[in-house]
Structure 1
Amino acid sequence: MYVPKHFREEDLVELHAFMSGNPFALAISNQEGVPVASHIPVILQAEPGPYGQLLGHFALGNSQWKTFDGSQEVLIIFQGPHAYISPSWYSEPEISVPTWNYAVVHAYGVPRLVEDPDDLMTLLGDQVHVFEGTDRLAWFLQPENEAMRKKARGVVGFTMSITRLQGKYKLNQNRSLTDQEQVIDQLETQDDVSKGVAALMRKRIAQ
């Protein structure tokens, strides 16, 4: 990923928080010489390893899981909010051009399949716990429930120790503070995704 210095994010705590906050990820690998990709829910565990590990699963019918057997490096992308930025929002629109603001994290590693049925149930239970939260109406996976174990045979789990992380927060850091604030003001009048970009920009300015 092309990451100019202005937009580089290397703080591990920030990267982990971003990944946990945007868990519906894009997994990319190579299958018989062809790039393949799947949109899947992935959870982050801060340990083990210097960058933590990812846990996820594929539907059994999605053959991409066969590339997650420890034989190749794969890329998992976590995408945050993004928005078009008009030159008219800057102090000098006549010498400016349109751009796109966004935040994204790329995680690299060599994933391995979870083949033991009990370990798979634990992985699925961990995912459910993260996504359901602690609400009193939260649904819990019962690992000894035979019906649940039968359904689990329809998915393939994986773990991936992260060997490399790239974070890119392209949020007008190369513009003046005045321009950044004017962009924030415009984004806050738009849809929720654009407001998400505005929130990220405001957080960066406050740091």
Structure 2
Amino acid sequence: MYIPAHFAQPDRDALFDMIEAHAFGLLVSGSGADMIASHVPFLVERPDSARGGEHGTLLCHLAAANNQLAALDGQAVLCIFQGPHGYVSPNWYAKKPAVPTWNYMVVHGYGQAHISRDPAVLRGIVDRLSRIYEGPDGWALDDEPESFFSGLARGIVAIEIPLSRLEGKYKLSQNRPLADIDGVIANLRRIGGDDNLALADAMDAAAQKKRDR
């Protein structure tokens, strides 16, 4: 990924925080005509966890019928996580001339995929995902009969990706003067919407370093 120095996010914990907050990512593998991608929710094992490894690990599962599985085991993969993003009008800048642009936050994770059909591994992934998104009083895998899970496990495959590299690009107008940044923040908040408001908050936090100088 092309990352100018002023847009780089080197804080590893911040990158894992963003993955967890925007965990529905893109699993990309192959090359050329064989390139293929799947949209899936991921789980994160941070480097300081028992299964995290040196750089952290990503976990997900695919349908057993997914063509991406054919050559996935042992293959280098890219996992993409898109955070808040939005259009930026040059009319929002104090300094002209200027052109339209797009601000965004994105994380790329690189590693080698390993597949598993172990029912215990599959159960752990499904159970963790459901607990995250259902909450404490929602549906739980343990509420279903064991025969239900046995059938489910035959139809899915676990993917474990020990990360070799994690990189983040937070394009938040860091290259603009404070007056321009404040203009963008104000207009994003004026327009509203979840992405615009989250992007404005991220820009405000990033701009604090300039304000403190």
Q: TM-score scaled to structure 2, two decimals? A: 0.89
SS at match of 1:10: coil
Structure 1 residues 82-132: Cα deviation after superposition (integer angstroms, max 9, x where no partner): 111000000123x11111000000000001011212221122212222222
Mapped partners of 2:44, 2:37: distance in 1: 19
Mapped partners of 1:185, 1:160: distance in 2: 40
Change in CA separation of 1:9 and 1:123 when aligned onto 2, cut-off 3 Å: same
User: 1:60 matched to which residue of 2?
Assistant: 64
SS at match of 2:190: coil
Change in CA separation of 1:65 and 1:186 when aligned onto 2, cut-off 3 Å: same
Structure 2 portions without partners, runs of 5+ = none
SS at match of 2:150: helix
Mapped partners of 2:104, 2:160: distance in 1: 27
User: 2:149 matched to which residue of 1?
Assistant: 148
Mapped partners of 1:11, 1:101: distance in 2: 19
User: 2:83 matched to which residue of 1?
Assistant: 80
1:182 is displaced (CA, Å) by 0.8
User: 1:103 matched to which residue of 2?
Assistant: 105
Equivalences for 1:17-96 in 2 at 5 Å?
17-30=17-30, 33-46=33-46, 47=49, 48-70=52-74, 72-93=75-96, 95-96=97-98
Mapped partners of 1:68, 1:76: distance in 2: 13
In structure 2, what residue type is equivalent to 1:89?
A: W
SS at match of 1:175: coil
117-126 vs 35-44, which deviates more? 117-126
Structure having the higher helix fraction is 2
SS at match of 1:9: coil
Give the superposed CA RMSD: 1.7
In structure 2, what residue type is equivalent to 1:116?
A: D
Q: Confirm or deny: 8 A CA contact 1:121 1:149 kept in the other structure.
A: no
Mapped partners of 1:8, 1:184: distance in 2: 20
User: 2:203 matched to which residue of 1?
Assistant: 201
38-47 vs 18-27, which deviates more? 38-47
Mapped partners of 2:131, 2:94: distance in 1: 47
Mapped partners of 2:67, 2:41: distance in 1: 17
User: 1:2 matched to which residue of 2?
Assistant: 2
In structure 1, what residue type is equivalent to 2:124?
A: T
1:177 is displaced (CA, Å) by 1.1
1:148 is displaced (CA, Å) by 2.0
Mapped partners of 1:145, 1:189: distance in 2: 51
Aligned length: 203
SS at match of 1:166: strand
Mapped partners of 1:163, 1:194: distance in 2: 32
1:67 is displaced (CA, Å) by 3.1
Shift >6 Å, 4+ stretches: none
2:116 to 114, 117, 126: 114
Q: TM-score scaled to structure 1, two decimals? A: 0.92
